[in-house]
Amino acid sequence: MLHAIDGTWQPNDHDNANGLVTGFGASIQIINGGVECGGEEENAQSLNRIAYYKEFANYLKVAIADDEVLGCKNMKQFDEGGAGALLIYWEEDWGWSAETSDGKTNACQQVVYQTAYTAFKAGDYAKCVQGHFNVYIVDDNGQVEDWITDTTPATPEDTTPA
């Protein structure tokens, strides 16, 4: 949602083919697109959102561009071919490996859909592997890593500025 609002997300050819373009309509698709978007006409819910958007913009004295797409009719849902599909989660790699006795890869792969393991959190790849394959990760010193241990950096107790 943030990238759609702040302009970071720019639709690629795949998005454009699916009717996904910049504007308020894309935010409707993100919020409740499966219900409100994709039809040949705007439905009552999306029309209400558009009306609220216009009222808030008016109240805040923010101009809405004349060419901004406010609705989401004919918009398909975001999918993994679009510009917003970022490989930021870890998931079991279901591939086959000749190097293991059971043929499992004992690895995780990056995916665009949300899982319990994020690429932004140190240690989540190891947790993904251990959680899916019931294996132990051995560090460079030959020590077995405890996958249950939270590897998030500690936050200082007192965050009050000095």
Calpha distance 104→93 (Å, rounded):
8
C-alpha span between 147 and 142 (Å, rounded): 15
Domain coordinates in residue numbering, the chain:
2-59, 86-154
pLDDT tens for 23-71 read 999 999 999 999 999 999 999 999 999 999 999 999 999 999 999 999 9
pLDDT mean across residues, the chain: 90
Which tokens go with 65? 């561009």
Tell me what pLDDT residue 132 has.
92
Question: Would you state the pLDDT for residue 143?
Answer: 84
7-31 core/surface letters (b: 16 or more CB in 10 A; e: else): eebebeeebeebbbebbbbbbbbbe
152 versus 44: the higher-pLDDT residue is 44
Q: How far apart are CA 151 and CA 96, in angstroms?
A: 29
Is the pLDDT at 147 greater than 80, yes or no?
A: no
**pLDDT at residue 3 is higher than 60:** yes
> pTM for the whole thing?
0.66
Give yes or no for residue 156 having a pLDDT over 90: no
Identify the top-confidence range among 2-11, 19-28, 129-138.
19-28
Q: Per-residue pLDDT for 155 more than 70?
A: no
Read off the pLDDT of each residue in 87-114 and give the average, rounded to a whole number: 93
The confidence score (pLDDT) of residue 139 equals: 82
The pLDDT > 90 percentage for the chain reads 73
Q: How far apart are CA 45 and CA 9, in angstroms?
A: 24
Length of the chain measured in residues: 162
Residue 135 pLDDT: 82
* 45-54 pLDDT tens trace: 999 999 999 9
